[in-house]
Amino acid sequence: MVPGATLHGLGVSPGVAVAPVAQLGEAIAEPAAADEVPEDRREAEAARLAPAVAEVVAALRADAARSEGETAQILEATALLAADPDFAAGAAARVRAEGVSAARAVWDEAEAQARLLRDLGGRMAERVADVRSVRDRLVARLTGADVPGIPDRAEPFVLVARDLAPAETAALGRSRCVALVTEEGGPTSHTAILARALGIPAVVGAAGATAIPAETVVLVDGESGTVQLDPPERQRAATSEDPPEFDGRGQLADGTPVTLRANVGGAVDAHAAAAARAQGIGLFRTEFCFLDRAAEPTVPEQVAAYRGVLAPFAGRTVVVRTLDAGSDKPLPFATGADEENPALGVRGLRVARTHPALLSHQLTAIADAAAQEGAEVEVMAPMVATVDEARDFVAACRAAGIARAGIMIETPAAALLSAEMLAVVDFVSLGTNDLTQYTMAADRLSAPLGALNDPWQPAVLRLIGTVGAAGRARGKPVGVCGEAGGDPAIAPVLVGLGVTSLSMTARSLARVAARLRTVTADECRRAAEAALGAPTAVEARAAAAAVLG
């Protein structure tokens, strides 16, 4: 590697960090396939699998219990994968039929599953790392080997790996890791999700990253997706300053208010957001009540769960998104398993067409929880495409006693009809991740299409501008709760396009607030106009930067 060289990947978690490189530990060695187990010992060899599985599941669940938020959820999901009886049965069958060791049977069974996931593509292909993580833990238990882990170092470091499993990524929060670079992975891999939750700058899909020599100092830019080797001293110094803590007042340099809220997925996230002084919750994902269940949770169960999120924000605004089932979040009691293209199928509000009681029960629970905790609840529906859908949803909210109802702007149809939508709803919130994938016809779960899934794409910016103009004309709030909301680079442009509030992970609040306090409303508008006039995403980013400095 040449000093000063720059590797390019996909920035999946914003921020900039400089530190020496540390590589992930040695991978688990592939068990030998040549040693055949005698027939009279095969049953005993197969019997070794059950206790190994139990130990791995217990260790993962113990890690989950010590973690919080999305980290805990992902570790628990990995534990469920390890506990899959079909996987253990398949490995045991290989021992009995082929005479291979238990460790080799686990390896072969995992590789078979990995091939299947790769062939499915998209989000499923990104789960290959999860399968291999379970494989390595099981093989380690069966052979007495050590499981690769995060380096235990006293000084800050940038972790470089081919890819990371959920359990490895979860351990980053307990290490001195300040940034993450992988050769594989996509924008919605567990690596990306947890890096954003931890506030660690991350770049995935950076070809050649694992060839960077250990201890090489690198500058990782999680916004631009670049990894610079041996950066100049002036660049290193510029990244060493942390932004001041968010003081709970989102505003521009000229005093123009911009509300900064937090995205949460449960009570732990809500308490972290309150501690970070978020000005409310801009996106409360309610799916945690419904996932991994065979039947719909009862209204009392939902009320109890929602109260845990609302309690830290009594007297403040909490924007609740109703169940966003379907697509990558299927539910056995609500969504079909045989849709050819679930991202364009029955998801979000569309589920209520065939399961109206599901929405009715949830709205009742939200209203009850809000009344008990004294939170100022606003409720919005995901995946809205028509004015009739918006009107019907508002009527359902009013019937449940919910005063303020809005919609997510995730489809180009909703963006183009935003003036008509805002005539019937109280507010809108832009889900920039889905809006981008539907505008660009590029699956946001696909790593090769990462460049298209960029909110700087001019077509996306123009749709956001259409919504912002409609909000200004109607005098109604326009929020952003997608990934773009927590990106300090694009935040001023969003404000210039007419966005009145931004919602993000709690760890992003300080950086976004600090950036907004360096620009005026006029500069935001001029930066937005410059970006809107650009023909490409790269030029839009550059045009805005030229205005903002």
Cβ atoms of residues 393 and 405 within 8 Å? yes
Sequence-separated (6 or more) residues with CB below 8 Å from residue 210: 23, 160, 161, 162, 183
HEC readout, 267-320: HHHHHHHHHCCCCCEEEEEHHHHCCCCCCCCCHHHHHHHHHHHHHHHCCCEEEE
Residue with tokens 């590589």: 23
Sequence-separated (6 or more) residues with CB below 8 Å from residue 93: none
What's the rounded Cα separation, in Å, for the pair 133 and 189? 14
User: b/e per residue, 93-128, with b = 16+ CB within 10 A?
Assistant: ebbeeebbbbbbbbbbbbeebbeebeeeebbebbbb
What's the rounded Cα separation, in Å, for the pair 376 and 314? 7
Looking at residue 411, the DSSP 8-state letter turns out to be: S
Enclosing H/E stretch for 179: strand 177-182
Burial tier of 520 (Cβ tally within 10 Å: 0-12, 13-18, 19+): middle
Q: Three-class SS of residue 134?
A: helix
In sequence order, the β-bridge partners of residue 502 are 260, 480
How remote is the C-alpha of 354 from its chain's centroid?
A: 28
Q: Would strands 177-182 and 157-161 be described as parallel, antiparallel, or unpaired?
A: parallel
289 included as an active-site residue:
no
Length of the chain: 549
- Annotated active-site residue in 177, 190, 271, 289: 190
- Annotated active-site residue in 177, 289, 481, 524: 481
In sequence order, the β-bridge partners of residue 405 are 379
Burial tier of 7 (Cβ tally within 10 Å: 0-12, 13-18, 19+): buried
Q: Three-class SS of residue 43?
A: helix
481 included as an active-site residue:
yes
The set of catalytic residues is 190, 481
